[in-house]
Amino acid sequence: MEATKTSLPENAYRKLKEGEVYIPVVPDDKILREVSPYSLFWGLFYAAIFSMAAAYLGLKIGQVFEAAIPIAILAVGTSAFIGRKNALSENVIIQSIGAASGVVVAGAIFTIPAIYILGLDVKFFQIFLSSLFGGFLGILFLIPFRKYFVQEMHGEFPFPEATATTEVLVAGEAGGDQARILLKAMVIGGIYDFIVGTFHWWSEVFESRAVPFLTGLADKAKLVFRINIGAAVMGLGYIIGLKYATIIAAGSFVSWFVFIPLISYFGHNLTVVVGSTATGLIANMSAEQIFSTYVRHIGIGGIACAGIVGIIKSSAIIGGAMKLAWMEMTGSKKLAHGGETRTSRDLPMGLIGTLIIVTAIFIFAFFMFGVVHNLLQAVIGLLIALIISFLFTTVAARAIAIVGTNPVSGMTLMTLILSSVILVKVGLTGPAGMVSALLIGGVVCTALSMSGAFITDLKIGYWLGTTPMTQQKFKFLGTLVAAASVGLVIMMLNQTYGFVGEGALVAPQANAMAAVIKPLMSNQPAPWMLYVVGAIFALILETIGVPPLAFALGMYIPLELNTPILAGGIIAHFVAKSSRDKKLNNKRRERGTLIASGFIAGGAIMGVFSAFLKYVHFDKISFITPIITEAWAESHAGQLLGLGLFLILCFYMFWDSKRVKES
């Protein structure tokens, strides 16, 4: 075993010049430990622990935290604490296995609790198998596209979460200046976000209503500006960069500054409820309610259409992957996998095809004997799960590669609508239809969540030089542990807290799914026109050369999460243009990336810790209660203070990123 360099190559984040080759941190001819009893134990341990934590937090507060960064930090810290040398590749495997937790949790908690919310029953094996099979499909469908997204498109996509995780792993292994910069940023970002999330000394979100002369615009014209002042989200924007940050923000601005005021203007005098998703008059709705009731569905339509456009544009890649798998399965072509370089070796396409067939058989059996008990309906359920999961795999991967956020809830909502319409046509309605559609949606949701997140793991492995085949093999094991863990946790939480009534868990995504599926299974209409408007928007954007998926993501994701991304992108732009020396600018940009990664990592870790403190009722301790000022934080003064501190944080990031001396 040989020691290897512990810094990312200069061309890690940019496009390669003609003839240039990317050489990872651990080159092909260097081999470090990857899978060992050490890495296997910690990976599976984190998969179980973080599945339970993520499930509780996701159902309690509606946010599923990404486990990749916290697990990477824990892996680096553990190896450093015990003095384990050359543990970089082992830490990648620990992170990859453990990160299955948040992925499987997102697939399960967005759909399964909706069954309880509708007053129906679900068994452990149904939760476990829908999560397990969905996770397996996500892995299997993504592997054929690894080389395209990870290698061929090198430098095309920012991969924000993968970048932050990679910086953590490299800095932890390298120590020295890199580790100090990262650690300092983690402390600053972590303390900043911890104070906001735990003590509420200032507001987490600033909105224009806090400025007196803008209050009238918000109330009358429904023109509201909102920005999340968290360090982690701003750091994410820095890594995404100005190009995609601007497109995402543009989508959000169209939703909030065009569609919401228009709907308010034309609907203000209406005396009837408009639309299948509305429960009240437009005149009585705030800008936020108009967004969730009407405009967000336009974003869902845009995401779906952008995904279809992406599928059509990627048809040659999809066809090539399918052809290769078929040739290997039929024996008409045998690839010499042993002749490939270590860092480009995937599981054989023939094996992938076989595993997809085997998984499909098991899914059919699950639907047939565990869900619908009808041959035609089981076949239709299988086809829905396979087709949608396969087609939207590239959409999920592309979304993660661009913005670090997977619009899986929007795509799952579309799946539920399509599933319900089709199942009703074949005679499956009522309670049985609702359970069936939600379990089918659970399979698809987990598959899309997995495919989006797994591309992050594979990109990390590509940058660092881990064997892709190894990551792919052991991702299945992490998924198995996570699926079992999340099934137990959901049933336990239902018995302990419930999802309906006073004191129940919030489960916002599952409540949205339940609200959508109930009328559909009763033959009530879906907001098809809003989906069509979003689809037309996506087509126009594609025609004029604007990436429609990034724009549609902006329309779908709330404004307050897109505006700090734009702020981070603007800082990255000015850092990269801060001098006439190109090499100096690159070094400053790289330092900024390390600082941004620290903000993201610190925010992620302290966010989990803050939620844990809420779980143990930390705020009820006698000497703690007086220093928690949640009510004040939501006041206009609390919001203005938050905005001021956010601007200081932005200035600090710009200043610290430039602290690279000219050579």
User: Do 565 and 500 lie in a common domain?
Assistant: no
Within-domain flag for 663: no
Residue 571 has pLDDT above 80, yes or no: yes
Q: Place 408 in a pLDDT band, splitting at 50, 70 and 90.
A: low
Length of the chain: 663
Identify the residue whose tokens are 């998926």.
Answer: 549
CA separation (Å) from 123 to 129, 133, 392, 443, 624?
A: 10, 16, 28, 15, 41
Give the C-alpha distances (Å, rounded to integers) separating 131 from 47, 112, 196, 351, 512: 14, 10, 34, 22, 19
Does residue 26 form part of some domain?
A: no
What is residue 408's DSSP assignment? H
Q: Concatenated DSSP letters for 420-458?
A: HHHHHHTT--HHHHHHHHHHHHHHHHHHHHHHHHHHHHH
Concatenated DSSP letters of 355-405: HHHHHHHHHHHHHIIIII--HHHHHHHHHHHHHHHHHTHHHHHHHHHHHS-
- Contact status, residue 478 vs residue 96, Cβ threshold 8 Å: yes
Q: Which has the closest alpha carbon to 411: 377, 447, 376, 436?
A: 447
297 domain residue, yes or no: no
Structure-token match 């969540």, residue found: 449
Q: Is 226 helix (H, G, I), strand (E, B) or coil?
A: strand
Spatial contact of 449 and 406, defined as CB atoms under 8 Å apart: yes
One domain, residues 399 and 483: yes
Are 333 and 402 in the same domain?
Answer: yes
**Would you say residue 61 has pLDDT above 60?**
no
Asked whether residue 384 falls in the same domain as residue 420, the answer is: yes
Last residue of a domain, which of 506, 536, 566?
A: 536
pLDDT surpasses 50 at 2: no
The token duo for 448 is: 């899309």
Instruction: For residue 294, tell me if it sits in a domain.
Output: no
Q: What are phi and psi of 207, to 5 degrees?
A: -130, 155
pLDDT 10s digits, 472-522: 989 999 999 888 888 887 887 777 777 766 656 666 667 767 767 777 776
354 and 438 in a single domain? The answer is yes
Tokens of 615: 């779980």
In-domain check, residue 128 = yes
Cα 332 to Cα 318, 324, 540, distances in angstroms: 19, 10, 43
The whole-number pLDDT of residue 64 equals: 59
Assess whether 188 and 135 both reside in one domain. Answer: no
Report the number of distinct structural domains present in the chain. 2
Q: Among 592, 586, 569, 578, which residue's Cα sits nearest to residue 181? A: 592
Within this chain, do residues 419 and 480 fall inside the same structural domain, yes or no?
A: yes
Average pLDDT for 580-603: 81
Angle, alpha carbons 436-441-445 (nearest 5°):
155
Q: Are 40 and 20 in contact (CB under 8 A)?
A: no
User: How does DSSP classify residue 148?
Assistant: I
Residues 394 and 434 in one domain: yes
The pLDDT tens digits for 345-366 are 888 888 888 899 999 999 999 8
Look up residue 304 and give its amino acid: A
Would you state the structure tokens that stand for residue 597, as one six-digit string? 């990664």
Q: Is 138 within 8 Å of 310 (Cβ atoms)?
A: no
User: Which of 565, 553, 564 is closest to 245 using CA atoms?
Assistant: 565
Global pTM exceeds 0.75: no
Residue 518 within a domain: yes
Give yes or no: residues 151 and 212 share one domain. Answer: no
How much of the chain exceeds pLDDT 70, in percent? 86
304 lies in a domain? no
392 and 354 inside one domain: yes
Domain span at residue 392 reads: 37-160+309-536
Amino acid at 176: G
Is 299 among the domain residues? no
Q: What is the pLDDT of residue 174?
A: 64
Place 46 in a pLDDT band, splitting at 50, 70 and 90.
confident
Cα–chain-centroid distance for residue 468? 21
Note every long-range contact of 174-181, with CB atoms under 8 Å and residues 24 or more positions apart, other chains counting: 174/6, 174/7, 175/6, 178/7, 178/594, 181/591, 181/594, 181/595, 181/598
pLDDT at position 62 over 60 = no
Residue 648: predicted pLDDT: 94
The pair of three-digit structure tokens given for residue 400, joined into one six-digit string? 């993660």
100-109, 194-203, 441-450: lowest mean pLDDT where? 100-109
Which of the listed ranges 14-18, 42-46, 368-372 does the model predict with the highest average pLDDT? 42-46
**How would you classify residue 558: left for phi > 0, otherwise alpha for psi between -120 and 50, otherwise beta?**
beta
- Using the 3D structure, point to which of 536, 566, 601 is the last residue of a domain: 536
Please state the φ and ψ torsions of residue 351, each to the nearest 5 degrees: -65, -40
Residues 520 and 604 in one domain: no
Same structural domain for residues 532 and 460?
A: yes
CA atoms within 13 A on the CB side of 626: 2
Q: Using CA atoms, how far apart are residues 168 and 400, in angstroms rounded to an integer? A: 19
Question: Could you please report the per-residue DSSP string of 548-614?
Answer: HHHHHHHHHS-HHHHHHHHHHHHHHHHHHTSSS-HHHHHHHHHHHHHHHHHHHHHHHHHHHHHHHHH
Q: d(Cα 238, Cα 455) in Å, to the nearest integer?
A: 20
